[in-house]
Amino acid sequence: MYWEAVVANDSRFDGTFVLCVKTTGIYCRPTCCARLPLRKNVEFCTSPIDAEALGYRACKRCRPKLANDADPQMKLIVRACEVINSDEEILLDYLAIELNMSPSHL
């Protein structure tokens, strides 16, 4: 999901995660206009703080530390995908508890 957002240059994901490029040691916003790196050279972090803890430095072009927070709905969707992908079978009630919402609203 993260890689598809980077390839699509999807601005809805700004503030949701950062793209870390292993070969350059730089992390960027998903919408950075820099050249698209090879997928094998990329890892993802949920925040600039996490990326910097791994030794990456901020891109001077897209300035990911200044990115606005992501749309709250998009953050919820990303979190739901992470929970779903972390388990083979997941019940709707469990997912609703993890996302702090009712099953019917989810």
Which pair of tokens denotes residue 97? 């508890």
Rounded to whole angstroms, the Cα distance separating 70 from 50 reads 17
2-66: CATH number: 3.40.10.10
Catalytic-role residue among 28, 32, 45, 62: 28
User: Known catalytic residue: 28?
Assistant: yes
- The boundaries of every CATH 3.40.10.10 domain in the chain are 2-66
Q: Where are the alpha helices (DSSP H) in the chain?
A: 2-7, 48-53, 72-85, 92-99
Dmax (CA) for the chain in angstroms is: 45
pLDDT tens digits in sequence order for the chain, 106 residues long: 889 999 999 888 888 899 999 999 999 999 998 999 999 999 999 889 999 999 999 999 998 887 655 566 767 777 787 788 777 778 888 888 888 888 887 7
Residues 6+ apart with CB under 8 A from 69: 15
Query: pTM above 0.75?
Result: no
* C-alpha to C-alpha distance for 40 and 62, rounded to whole angstroms: 21
Rounded distance, CA 47 to CA 51, Å?
6
